[in-house]
Structures are given as C-alpha cells and as structure tokens.
Amino acid sequence: MTLKVLVVGGGMSGLTTLKECLAAGFKATIFEAQDHIGGQWQYTDPDPVTGEVHSSIYQGTIFNSCRDTSSFSDFPMDPARYSVYTTHKQYVRYLHEYATFFDLLSHIRFGTKVMKCDQLEGGKWEVTYSEKEGIETETYDALFACTGHNATPIVPQFEGMKEFKGQFIHSHVYRTPGAFEGKKAAVIGIGSSAVDISTELAPQAKELHVITRNGGWIIPRFIFGKPVEAWDSRFAATVLPKSISLWAQTKLLNLVMGKLPPELKPKHGILEANPTVRGDFLEQIQVGRMTPHRAGVEKFTQNGLLLTNGTALEVDVVIACTGYLIEFPYLPEDSYRAKKSLFIDSPNSVNLYELVVPPNYQNLFFIGIAELPGPLPPISEIQARWAVGILSKKFSLPTPSQMTASIEQFQRNLAKHFVHSDRHTVSVDFLPYADRLLCPLHANPSFSRLVRKLFTSNPIRAFNVLWAVYMDISSSGQFRLFGEGAERDVAVASILRIAGGRGELSAEERKALSGMRRGGEGGE
C-alpha cells in the first residue's frame, strides 16, 4: 500500500523532505500557508497596518555557510551563477530551481495553513487545515513537521520598558539600516543577527552599542582567500582529537583576525558554541563606529538602558537579537518539547530522538531542527532521508525507552561540550551527526568505503575523491556517494570540480544531472 504523507511547510526543509518522499514512492503533499516556497528565506515586508512580518530575513542577509557545503547533495549550485556565500535572493532562486528540477511544485498546496494535528489509533494523523474554501480535515499515514524554529521570536522583558521613550524591536522585524540613520542605537546579543545588524547600522547610526553577557567568537567568511569551511576538513572534524582541532582553529583565527577585544572574548572554546560569521564586524569596533559592552541589561530608563556593570546608555532605539522559540503550534506540545532536560531548563529543550523522532508518538518526524557550526540544508536533507528510510522499513527505530535513554545521553553530552544556553539545546557536530544518520542507509562516506573504490578500473580518480572528501572542504556531494539514495556520478563530478576550484559546473556534472533519476538511485 502506498503511504499517504503530509509535509507541513514549503521552505528548504519541506522541499527536500517532499523530494525524498516522492523518490520513495509515497503519495506526498506539502501544505504551505503562504503563496510561495522558500519559508523563512523568502523576504517579506512588514504589514503596513500591524507591522508584523512572516520572514525573519532582512535585506542584507547572506548565508553563513558557503555555496559548496550548503547545496543539496544531489543538486550542486553552479559557481558561475551563485556567489561563494549566497544572498537570500540567490538562495530562494536556488530553491525554485531545485523544486522545478525535481518536479515538486505540482505537489504543493499553497495558501493552506495547518491548524491542528491529532494522532489516531493505529498511528495515522488527522490534520485540520484552512484554505480559502474553509476548514477541512484529512487523514495521513505519516506527518513531517518542516516549519523550522525561527518563526516565534523570544522577546525579553526588562524592568522599566513601559517608561522607555524610544523604540524597542526584536531583530525579527528589522529590515534595513536606513530607518535608524542618525539615531543612538543599542543591540542586545552577539549571535548572527546581532552581528549582522550591528555591522549594517554602524555607518549610519549616531552611536551604536553592542551588549553581550558572555561574548562570542567572531570568524570571517574567508581565510587566505578560501571559505572558512575549507579549513575544517573531514579529517580535522572526525580524525584529529578535538583538543588539537580546537587549538589549531583558535591559532588560525587569532593569526587572521587578531585577538578579540576583551569585551567580546568568551570564556568558552571556539567549538563549544556556534561562532558568528562576519569578519567586518570587528573592523567597525576598531574604527570606533560601535562600542561593545560585556554586561547584561539591568533595566530600561526613560532615555535608555542601565547595564549590569553600572554603565548608563542614552539611546533612541534598542534591538533585541535574542533568538527564537522552538514551537510547532499545530502539534501537541508534548510531541516535541521536553518536560525536563539534563542540559538546561529551557523551553527550547526537545524530546526528540536524533532531533527528529518523538518517542511517544508514531509516524511523526521533525525536519530542520538543529544548531551546528556548519550548513543546515544538507542536514535537513539527511534527516529527511533517514526518516523516509524508517517509513520505508529500510531499518527500524529503537524502542521508546531506548530512544528516551538516547535523548538523555544527548543532553548529557550537550552539558559537557556546549555552552549552557537556549540556543544550544539542539546543537550537534556537523559531520559526526550527518554520518550517524546516514549509517543505517549505508550512505556515510567512511574511509573504508572510499578505500574500496581504489580497487577499481580507475584508482587514481578514486584516490582523488578520497583525498577531496577527507582533506578538502566538506562539500555536500560526499553524502550521495554510497548507499540508499546514492547518485554517485553527480556526486563524484561535483566533489572533484569543487576540489579543483573550477568556476562553473563541469560538463561531467551537467551530463550526470541530465541523466539522473529524479529522487535518486540506491546502491554502492
């Protein structure tokens, strides 16, 4: 019997999930509340009446991971058409090309908002949704939640906020720096949005203050002309001891960027929290356009802020870059949120095996929940492949009690290796996590699998692939070399083109793409 599955959300995670479901022969549909694909990556202007916005993307948003690591594994971005770090407009264009190539658009129902999902006896899901015609209900064999975790901003509350005469906003509604020209501004936070917005505001604001309690590592997008990811190979991430990788990366960063100002230098190591990618941020501090403060906000005053270190700031606008709440309002809260955690007491703690499967529900999968120092698109794709493998009975899940034990061990590891904060409740190491999910599909590019390819009719080519996978940038093609869903021709061509530094798709890649079975073909 063909499984009938629903994918909620037409963003990056939803599209790759739909593609994998169709490749497995499922009858799959996306319900997308908006009238377009792209999810949070589709820029939207604020509502002229309410000021509310759907997307968290501002006009200057650029991908923090580079083109060659952020492509889906069987659909490489053409370097002749996409910059090394893509803008949000470029990335949405890429998603449209991906959806067209794999014929996904005909399986998407736009303007369809999922309101409630209830599990029925036997494991099926009753889904209530709204369309122009009204409210309807349908039943599905399985459900994929792909609406991400950057939709509900965490808005902090401080003493004195009602008395503040200036403007207070969350970064979710920020769009352009021009609105703050000539103003005294304060930005709370040191994550990606805080650093991006501060760097944009610095040339325009009369004064700019950046407030951070714990500091953070700031890294450039390029080191010695190469994307920063090129300096963190599979060999460094999976073979070298973590202490050596930490030492080497810290030394390299200090060599290229210089030492961080004391107000920003964190107590934690560079691998214990997601670093922020934006090299020109530090330059704005060095030339005096912004002032960092190592403190929290004690309270608001009528004309500004009082910080926990006693500093008083007079400002016209405060922008809180304080992250997002992991929330799926159309699902039972106990299907994803943890009642307690061995990591930290946070509303962002999740009760999900491998960040995908709730032990207490059947046929429900969350795709795209992860924080990592690396690219999210291939991780969402791998999560989808892993989940589809479960539904296709390629392998079985552990028992609910075993999954719960695994979640608790994951939380212990978080407590040991990551900064204790809301952001890191779903943190993973990129390649080890990817390999772990690919393993039951026999698709992880292990050293032994790569070595076996040396004993073929083209050992030199096989050695070049092995070298590129382990010693060069971790391009996403490596995840399609083996196992279930393999697309070896396009994967090998992509890996070798990237390792060779070619500025456009190779003829071999184009040939492989034109002859590729839509949805992939398994086997080693």
71 contacts 97 by C-beta, under 8 angstroms: no
Domains by residue range for the chain, with CATH:
4-151+325-441 (3.50.50.60), 155-322 (3.50.50.60), 447-514 (no CATH)
pLDDT of residue 521 exceeding 60, the answer is no
User: DSSP of 490-518, one letter per residue?
Assistant: HHHHHHHHHHHT-SS--HHHHHHHHTPPT
- What is the pLDDT, as a whole number, of residue 215? 95
Token pair for residue 221?
Answer: 């997008």
Contacts 24+ apart (CB under 8 A), 137-143: 138/6, 139/4, 140/4, 140/5, 140/6, 141/3, 141/4, 141/5, 141/363, 142/3, 142/5, 142/6, 142/363, 142/364, 142/365, 142/391, 143/5, 143/6, 143/8, 143/117, 143/363, 143/364, 143/365
CA-wise closest residue to 426 among 364, 362, 358, 368? 368
Task: Give me Rg for the CA atoms of the chain.
Answer: 23
- Of 5, 9, 11, 8, nearest in space to 28 by CA: 5
Phi, psi of 482 (to 5 degrees): -135, 165
At 55-97, the pLDDT tens digits run: 999 999 999 999 999 999 999 999 999 999 999 999 999 999 9
Mean pLDDT (the chain, rounded)? 95
Query: In sequence order, what DSSP letters do the residues of 281-330 get, joined into one string?
Result: HHHHHHTTS-EEEES-EEEE-SSEEEETTS-EEE-SEEEE---EE---TT
- Confidence at residue 517, expressed as pLDDT on a 0 to 100 scale: 61
Q: Helix, strand or coil for residue 252?
A: helix
Query: Residue 144 above 50 pLDDT?
Result: yes
As a whole number, mean pLDDT of residues 427-449 equals: 97
Tokens, residue 484 = 């279930």
- Give residue-wise pLDDT tens across range 170-194: 999 999 999 999 999 999 999 999 9
Q: How many CB atoms lie within 10 A of CB 161?
A: 14
pLDDT over 70 (residue 296): yes
Q: Which helix (H) or strand (E) holds 250?
A: helix 242-257
Q: Cα separation of 472 and 233, whole Å?
A: 6
Taking 60 as the threshold, does the pLDDT of residue 220 lie above it? yes
SS3 of residue 459 by DSSP: helix
The mean per-residue pLDDT over the stretch 378-385 comes to 99
Alpha helix (H) residue ranges in 26-81? 67-70
Coil, strand or helix at 388:
helix
- 93 and 42 in contact (C-beta within 8 Å)? no
| Token output for 80 | 């002749």
Model confidence at 259, pLDDT cuts 50, 70, 90, reads confident
Distance of CA 501 to the CA centre of its chain: 25
Task: Tell me the C-alpha distance between 491 and 388, whole Å.
Answer: 21
Q: Which residue has the higher pLDDT, 245 or 9?
A: 9
**What is residue 87's three-state secondary structure?**
strand
Percent of the chain with pLDDT over 90: 89
